[in-house]
């Protein structure tokens, strides 16, 4: 069976085929990642051009721009492991791509999280490959000096952890019907929760979004 919108089709008992959007066609996510990448690289370029290594502007204060570098991980930990972190960066990017692909309808918050992390990962990765280290410049109080890429990666990870925690807390006590493999996870329009619409025979006849009210029904053969 095919749905009215053509976004899903019934291939057999208990099986639902829904097309997944390739990440390279998710223009919002890609644009966010590219924006983070260029902001990170441009800010590092300005720091390298106008500040000497280990120079700070202003010389004193809680918030400063300090030109420094590290060959370790985020916030300067695990120094001297640049080659290892190049490999770790590639693995991390692969994991993020797999996470995106595993979602039938990636939510806006997930796309925001992945866009921030991918842009930051590629920003630091380019530094490691091209310079052999990562340029850092954001100097806040006693906190280790970091850069735009570091901030975006950490923000993306926090968002990802928050989504996981909230999804576990909000998971309802589902009935046998809602556990059917035919169920949608998220509304393709607003990312809301799609709830099954039972028919007289007790089988899933379609879904209704609990947020925007959009309905997706299976058409009879």
Catalytic residues: 136, 150
Q: What is the rounded distance in angstroms from the CA atom of residue 173 to the CA atom of residue 154?
A: 32
3-state secondary structure of 217: strand
Q: What is the rounded distance in angstroms from the CA atom of residue 44 to the CA atom of residue 218?
A: 53
Q: What is the rounded distance in angstroms from the CA atom of residue 63 to the CA atom of residue 137?
A: 11
Do residues 170 and 89 lie in contact, with contact meaning Cβ atoms separated by under 8 Å? no
Do residues 65 and 139 lie in contact, with contact meaning Cβ atoms separated by under 8 Å? yes
Tell me the Ramachandran region of residue 50: left when phi exceeds 0, alpha when psi lies from -120 to 50, beta otherwise.
alpha
Token pair 């291939």 is at which residue?
11
Q: DSSP secondary structure string, 165-215?
A: HHHHHT-----TTTTSTT--SB-TTT-PBEEEEE-TTSSEEEEEETTT--E
Q: What is the rounded distance in angstroms from the CA atom of residue 14 to the CA atom of residue 16?
A: 7
């Amino acid at each position: 069976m095919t749905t009215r919108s053509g976004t899903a089709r019934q291939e057999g008992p208990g099986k639902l085929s829904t097309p997944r959007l390739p990440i390279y066609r998710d223009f919002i996510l890609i644009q966010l990642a590219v924006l983070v990448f260029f902001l990170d690289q441009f800010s590092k370029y300005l720091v390298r051009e106008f500040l000497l290594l280990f120079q700070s502007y202003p010389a004193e204060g809680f918030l400063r721009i300090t030109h420094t570098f590290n060959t370790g991980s985020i916030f300067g930990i695990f120094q001297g492991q640049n080659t290892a972190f190049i490999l770790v960066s590639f693995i991390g990017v692969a994991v993020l791509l797999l996470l995106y692909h595993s979602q039938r309808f990636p939510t806006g918050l997930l796309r925001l999280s992945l866009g921030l992390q991918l842009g930051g990962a590629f920003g630091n990765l380019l530094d490691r490959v091209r310079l052999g280290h990562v340029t850092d410049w954001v100097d806040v109080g006693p906190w280790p000096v970091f850069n735009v890429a570091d901030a975006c990666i950490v923000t993306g990870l926090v968002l990802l952890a928050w989504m996981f925690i909230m999804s576990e807390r909000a998971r309802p006590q589902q009935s046998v019907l809602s556990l059917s493999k035919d169920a949608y996870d998220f509304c393709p329009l607003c990312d809301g929760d799609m709830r099954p619409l039972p028919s007289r025979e007790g089988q899933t006849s379609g879904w209704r979004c609990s947020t925007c009210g959009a309905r997706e029904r299976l058409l009879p053969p």
